[in-house]
Chains A and B, each alone.
Chain A
Amino acid sequence: DAGITQSPRHKVTETGTPVTLRCHQTENHRYMYWYRQDPGHGLRLIHYSYGVKDTDKGEVSDGYSVSRSKTEDFLLTLESATSSQTSVYFCAISVGVETPLHFGNGTRLTVT
């Protein structure tokens, strides 16, 4: 375990509600990432951060926003959850850009 804590581990929410997932790291790594994992699609990058207050979009960023106010915390927000956002969300960190990534244990989100 690379010192990454994701919370909550499981969440069920209703369509249209806002949801925030938290990633906390104790490694002081500069780079943090949010991925979603779905059957048939593997791991897809949602957003990433290359420093405090510095974030950028990944390949599936629509419907998601992120914030990073401290090195150790990276928040993923679904402003208005939809059923298509039912997924397992993974946070990852890295010292340098992208490689190698170390992952948290995931948050399973169900949108009903």
Chain B
Amino acid sequence: GQQLNQSPQSMFIQEGEDVSMNCTSSSIFNTWLWYKQDPGEGPVLLIALYKAGELTSNGRLTAQFGITRKDSFLNISASIPSDVGIYFCAGQETSGSRLTFGEGTQLTVNP
């Protein structure tokens, strides 16, 4: 099946810094999703992307659907301590096909 490579695996940053993470695929996707998981909880949907080149914001979070349709980026601006958690990307090749999840980026924000 398709592979999703998410990087970096972990990040340690200072409060106020900007963060960037990305996912790349071995095949073309028509949907990209970004989730955040807090400790002891389930993943929560942050942003959904459905069109190549699409740039979508949700507060301090911005995600982009890569123009090649094989990658996606998530940026967090001016990080705060509550941004701590694991961020997952997920992609879908075609409507109705199975979602593939990245392995996650563990974000630590030092006050």
Residues in A lying within 8 Å of B, measured CB to CB: 4, 40-45, 58-59, 90, 92, 97-106
Contact = CB atoms under 8 A, between A and B. Distances in A.
B45 A42 contact: no
B59 interface: no
Interface string B4-47: 00000000000000000000000000010101000011111100
B99 interface: yes
A103 B31 CA distance: 18
Given A45-B98, A105-B40, A98 B92 contact: yes
B5 to A, nearest CB: 11
Contact of B41 (A41, A42, A100, A106): A106
Contacts of A98: 92, 96-99
Chain A residues touching B, majority SS: loop
A106 B42 contact: yes
B95 interface: yes
Interface core residue of A58, A99, A100, A102 (most chain B CB under 10 Å): A99
B41 A105 contact: yes
Interface string B39-71: 011111100100000000000000000000000
